[in-house]
Amino acid sequence: MIIIENKFFADFSKGDQIKRYLEILENDSEHQNKSLFLLTIKNRKDYLENKIKEQLGSSNLKVYFQDKNVKYETVFWDDIFKLFQSEDIFLSELSKFVRENYIVNSKIGAEEVELINSIKIPNLLKQINEAIVINRDYMANHGYKVTRMTRAKDCLYYLEFSWGLVCVEYFQDFWHEYHTPFSLQLMDVWNKKILNLNKLRELEFIENKTYGYILPISISGEDINDSFNDQVLHKVMMIQELFGS
């Protein structure tokens, strides 16, 4: 009998999840061989195993599980993907998803160290956020109905139309995927019939499986605000030509 518990960043449910799994294995009388595997990523191993030690009240997991006649082992996603390199689309997409979202490489080079220890990154992020704020006022001054700002990890606001919303945003996930911090995103389009994919592609929209239709906006020119404002207004006017006001 084998139990596999997959953990990325969530904690163990009710604080005793592994203890409850161990009780299931101990109470099983049908199987002679019993195993409990913790499937995780390498940089979470120490944290999770310390939590398991707290649950079981033991400082030595190997000995504790041996005494219970249960094999315990920590298995890493990192190693699994090395073993199962495949052209299969499901495995390749799963590998890509886990690597991009959970397997974090903490090693950085001299150039990154220099950036972290400088004001370049915070100054750039400040400029990016201010560009969204300034653009909101810019679009409002051009007669568009805008919503209030949302500023947390990301920065965004919405343009309201009769057919739905256009989100004007700085979104870190898109920055990683499309190599620009800025984008437009179609939101809450109530009439799906107007979503002509060919027309959207002509406008350079990308169909994102998670977030729908995304239009990345790359900055050109030295003035970030002027470049962003001009491109947002131009793209929104083209969207209006397609969908209406």
Domain edge (last residue) among 101, 129, 152:
101
Query: Residues 39, 75: contact at Cβ < 8 Å?
Result: yes
| Distance separating alpha carbons of residues 229 and 219, to the nearest angstrom | 10
The reply to whether 198 falls in a domain is yes
| Distance separating alpha carbons of residues 22 and 5, to the nearest angstrom | 11
- Domain of residue 207 covers 118-243
pLDDT per position as a tens digit, 133-164: 999 999 999 999 999 888 766 888 999 998 88
Domain edge (last residue) among 101, 126, 154:
101
| Distance separating alpha carbons of residues 45 and 207, to the nearest angstrom | 36
**Token pair 């915070």 is at which residue?**
122
Residues of the chain with pLDDT under 50: none
Can you give the pLDDT at residue 192? 65
User: At a CB cut-off of 8 Å and minimum separation 6, what does 204 contact?
Assistant: 215, 216
Q: Which helix (H) or strand (E) holds 54?
A: helix 45-56
| Pair 123, 96 in one domain | no
Strands 164-170 and 182-187: antiparallel
The reply to whether 228 falls in a domain is yes
The reply to whether 113 falls in a domain is no
| Pair 132, 213 in one domain | yes
Alpha-helical regions (H) of 84-196? 89-101, 110-116, 120-141, 172-178
pTM, rounded to two decimals: 0.53
How far CA 23 is from CA of 18, 48, 152, in Å, comes to: 9, 19, 43
Domain edge (last residue) among 101, 132, 167:
101
pLDDT per position as a tens digit, 109-125: 777 778 767 888 888 88
The reply to whether 96 falls in a domain is yes
| Pair 11, 63 in one domain | yes
The reply to whether 106 falls in a domain is no
The reply to whether 214 falls in a domain is yes
| Pair 206, 236 in one domain | yes
The reply to whether 109 falls in a domain is no
Can you give the pLDDT at residue 175? 85
Number of domains in the chain: 2
